[in-house]
Amino acid sequence: MQNPTELSSNAGSVVSIRGSVVDVRFPQHLPGYLSRLDAGEDGSVIIEVIAHLNAEVVRGIALTPTSGLARGAPVVDLGRPLQVPVGRALLGRMFNVFGNPIDQQGGLTEIAWRSIHQAAIPLMQQSTESEILETGIKVIDVLTPIERGGKAGLFGGAGVGKTVLITEMIHNMVSQHQGISLFCGVGERNREAEELYREMQAAGVLDHTVMVFGQMNEPPGARFRVGHAALTMAEYFRDELRQDVLLLIDNIFRFIQAGQEVSGLMGELPSRVGYQPTLATELAALEERITSTTTGAITSVQAVYVPADDFTDPAAVHTFGHLSASIVLSRKRASEGFYPAVDPLRSSSKMLMPAIAGKRHYETALAVRQTLALYEELKDMIAMLGMAELSTSDRQIVYRARRLERFLTQPFFSTEQFTNQPGRLVSLENALEGCDRILNDEFADQPESALYMIGDIAEVRS
């Protein structure tokens, strides 16, 4: 499905091909930076202009495989950048980076198209109010609240539950806020995309969701631009339809990785740990477009793969700088059976202030974190000497902390088929009440297991 925009008459020919890097000669005039070029007899190879080499030759990155493309092959300059469709017709559909549907549900007709390269909203038009967005997940709402119109990062190594947490958030957002969710898969597995599509369908939330994918098997150019494509769609819902949008990106590290591959292909000198020298600029160009205005907001939750669980890695460090909340997933907690495996002591949120979250929420979260931190300090002593050697007050702290850890676990709607436990959605008020009552030793007579994998605190007695 091609964009109906007229093609320009500027024609050129391929000079050289090195993997995904294609040099093209234009004798008439050079196409602009970031212009889309269609190469080959049938125009099936799509190229984005990255650099001007001289007065006649441009260098571009192919966003589709270059197999079959030869020197001298014709190239057409479309006279515009890459574009994607926008509008309500996108809801319930799945797209690739070019805005073509990939869900076998037919094409789109009479739809508006927009360039994927848009400027960020000027500061004067951005909203200055800070507001918390409830997710229905206890440990996140209490300890690391997410900002409406802000950016939250899900940090963790491979296999600690980032994608599961994102799927749960999509489910809760649609059922709780009736907003629009936009899922952007960057360099993830095809299996995950297909499973997510079926889960959205089964949960009945697909009609409020748009999905955009640049998968693992696609060239680095496509993976590098899919985030911009999804963001352009999200901006239309925010600016034109004045709706709140939840933008989920899985995985922002793959975006950085695709940029690293493109940088390597272009022959740029690598920077720290082999990353591209333009890492900070490329990430900022994407992240600064995610913001809230007075009429609508794009709230973004981004999964961030942390290479070798090393939080000093430049990819993790640069991503941290853009976030208002950092949700750190811990392999240790996952191995102990605490799901979601959020590390309460390493996770943080700029929203957790009395002026924004409220005095009660702030004090409860502080008390929970303090109790868990003291328990962490006492673990070594317990391992060496046993509980009997602790003072009475320290023992009380340990009992409270162990009950809090179990209360902050939660069965998910997205994992019902694996656990046979119905999912739970818990309001912030109920989650705070549960934490308060545990801190006040109301459940000292109950076994710890009674608080494990429940929703509201009221479920303990039953």
Residue with tokens 């809801």: 91
Residue with tokens 């957002």: 173
Is 191 part of the annotated catalytic residue set? Answer: no
Report the residue count for the chain. Answer: 462
Q: How far apart are CA 127 and CA 295, in angstroms?
A: 9
From the candidates 189, 242, 360, 379, give the one annotated as an active-site residue.
189
Q: What is the DSSP string of 37-79?
A: EEESTT--EEEEEEEE-SSSEEEEEESS--TT--TT-EEEEEE
From the candidates 48, 168, 188, 218, give the one annotated as an active-site residue.
188
- E-assigned strands of 233-390? 245-250, 298-305, 325-328, 348-349
Q: What is the DSSP string of 71-129?
A: TT-EEEEEEEE-EEEESGGGTT-EE-TTS-B-SSS----S-EEEES--PPPPGGGB---
Q: How far apart are CA 380 and CA 163, in angstroms?
A: 33
What type of residue is 135? Answer: T
- E-assigned strands of 320-379? 325-328, 348-349
Phi, psi of 49 (to 5 degrees): -70, 125
Do 371 and 439 form a contact (C-beta atoms < 8 A)?
yes
From the candidates 162, 289, 333, 400, give the one annotated as an active-site residue.
162
Is 189 part of the annotated catalytic residue set? Answer: yes
Residue 212 is given by DSSP the state E
CA dihedral sign of residues 344, 345, 346, 347: positive
H/E stretch holding 209: strand 209-214
Q: Which residues contact 37 (CB under 8 A, 6 or more apart)?
A: 12, 24, 31, 46, 47, 48, 49, 60, 75, 76, 77, 78
Do 297 and 148 form a contact (C-beta atoms < 8 A)?
yes
Q: How far apart are CA 239 and CA 92, in angstroms?
A: 20
Do 125 and 293 form a contact (C-beta atoms < 8 A)?
yes
The token pair that represents 63 in the structure block: 């966003």
Is 162 part of the annotated catalytic residue set? Answer: yes
Catalytic positions, written as ranges: 162, 188-189
